[in-house]
């Protein structure tokens, strides 16, 4: 946002995708980057066909500099403000691909496992390796997932400590077998 103060604002369509649905808003900002630096866990929608459809949705509109935000968007701004001054804030944001290792402790009826994820610049998984507690190494990709919402916010300062190398991910990917548990 440095040097953007004099840039004219434009209207951006943004989405907070929570997997089985999402919340949508129009936000006036100087750039898409400013939107992402201001609100946690959102994506700026650039697809013309989606923007065209959204024009008829009667969505709430706000300005990135407004003192108050619509419900839902206010919480995402507060979350981003809490992140902003932490070490690691935005450290992964400008990457095309990021590799992460996340631990899942078995919530929601899913067995505990470590997940190695290849993440695109939009926060969505490209490929994933699950390291189960019983020693199985399972791989999956977008064709295997019924939904693929963003799973990470690349500005999140906690992600820096979860980063692994491409080599570590690829080694696990090559030794993994196709995840066929749901077939």
pLDDT at 4 over 70: no
User: 45, 73, 13, 35: which is closest to 155 by C-alpha?
Assistant: 35
Structure token pair of residue 136: 């199985």
How many other CB atoms sit within 10 Å of the CB of residue 78? Answer: 13
Tens digit of pLDDT for each residue in 69-98? 999 999 999 999 999 999 999 999 999 999
The rounded distance, in Å, linking the Cα atoms of 117 and 165 is: 11
On the 0-12 / 13-18 / 19+ scale of CB atoms within 10 A, 19 is: exposed
- Supply the pLDDT for residue 6: 67
Helix spans in 59-121 (H): 73-83
What is the value of pTM for the model shown? 0.86
């Amino acid at each position: 946002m440095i040097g953007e103060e004099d840039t004219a604002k434009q209207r951006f369509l943004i989405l907070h995708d929570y997997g089985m649905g999402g919340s949508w808003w129009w936000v006036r900002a100087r750039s898409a980057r400013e939107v992402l630096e201001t609100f946690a866990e959102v994506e700026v929608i650039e697809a013309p066909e989606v923007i065209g459809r959204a024009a008829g949705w009667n969505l709430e509109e706000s300005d990135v500099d407004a003192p108050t935000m619509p419900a839902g968007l206010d919480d995402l701004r507060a979350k981003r403000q809490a992140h902003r001054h932490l070490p690691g804030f935005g450290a992964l944001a400008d990457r095309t691909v990021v590799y992460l290792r996340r631990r899942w402790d078995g919530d929601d009826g899913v067995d505990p496992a470590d997940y190695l994820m290849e993440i695109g610049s939009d926060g969505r998984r490209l490929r994933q390796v699950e390291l189960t507690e019983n020693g199985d190494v399972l791989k999956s990709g977008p064709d295997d997932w019924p939904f693929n919402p963003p799973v990470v916010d690349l500005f999140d300062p906690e992600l820096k400590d979860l980063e692994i190398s491409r080599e570590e991910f690829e080694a696990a990917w090559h030794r993994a077998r196709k995840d066929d548990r749901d077939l």
